Amino acid sequence: MRIATVTIGAQEVVEVIWQVSDGPAQSHVCRSSSLMSPGPTAHRRLIDLDGTSDKTRLGPSALLGASMAIARAAAAGAKLPIYRYLAGTRTVSRLPVPMINVVNGGVHAANTLDFWEFMLMPAGAPTLRDVIRWSAEVLHALNALLKASGHPTSVGDEGGYTPNFHRPEEALDAPL
């Protein structure tokens, strides 16, 4: 999939090119005047372009990428940050707090943990800068603890450490 955002005159245009399994690459152009207003219009158009009930023709990854590109183009056209644009008429006083993957398990790790990911949320951080700083501090401290305990500090497919833990409680206790 290729996504391009261009300005033609005063109009934002998003062009998304998909390679579909049942035919040649197709180009779909979504213009801001008809598709880039808050709400389900653009998403309905993308679902209609797919034409299947389970989104298998174009694929969920391509549809998500196209949806994000349309939202970004619309936000740029409205001269708003994307989070304010997506909020529509609702007041946005703060952004969601990101979660940080600290320990991987399941098929993404060479350990016996059944859980896929163990996440931390730096709740209470007053700014995004503090969220990032707190997260980095926890990850560096966890790295040191894992090394001191003889665990590998390699990182799994999803970004978390993959220590030789055998029980979920070990992963939950490690960052504490």
Asked if 37 and 24 count as a contact pair (C-beta separation under 8 A), the reply is: no
pLDDT: which is higher, 47 or 149: 149
In this structure, are 82 and 12 located in the same domain? yes
Compute the distance between CA of residue 174 and CA of residue 146 in angstroms, rounded to an integer. Answer: 8
29 — pLDDT class (breaks 50, 70, 90): very low
Has residue 81 been placed in a domain? yes
Compute the distance between CA of residue 100 and CA of residue 136 in angstroms, rounded to an integer. Answer: 9
In this structure, are 104 and 60 located in the same domain? no
Cα-only R_g, the chain: 21
Q: State which of 54, 87, 120 marks the end of a domain.
A: 87
pTM score of the predicted model:
0.54
Average pLDDT, the chain: 76
Q: What is the pLDDT of residue 71?
A: 78
Has residue 94 been placed in a domain? no
pLDDT: which is higher, 155 or 92: 155
Provide the domain limits for residue 53: 2-87
Asked if 75 and 85 count as a contact pair (C-beta separation under 8 A), the reply is: yes
Asked if 74 and 12 count as a contact pair (C-beta separation under 8 A), the reply is: yes
In this structure, are 6 and 34 located in the same domain? yes
**CA max distance for the chain:** 61
Q: Which amino acid is at 58?
A: L
In this structure, are 8 and 72 located in the same domain? yes
Q: State which of 28, 58, 87 marks the end of a domain.
A: 87
In this structure, are 75 and 110 located in the same domain? no
In this structure, are 44 and 16 located in the same domain? yes
Q: How many domains does the chain have?
A: 2
Has residue 95 been placed in a domain? no
Report pLDDT digits (tens) over 108-136.
677 888 888 889 899 888 888 898 899 99
Has residue 6 been placed in a domain? yes
Has residue 167 been placed in a domain? yes
Residue 160 has phi, psi (to 5 degrees) of -90, 160
Instruction: Say how many CA atoms lie within 13 Å of 173 toward its Cβ.
Output: 6
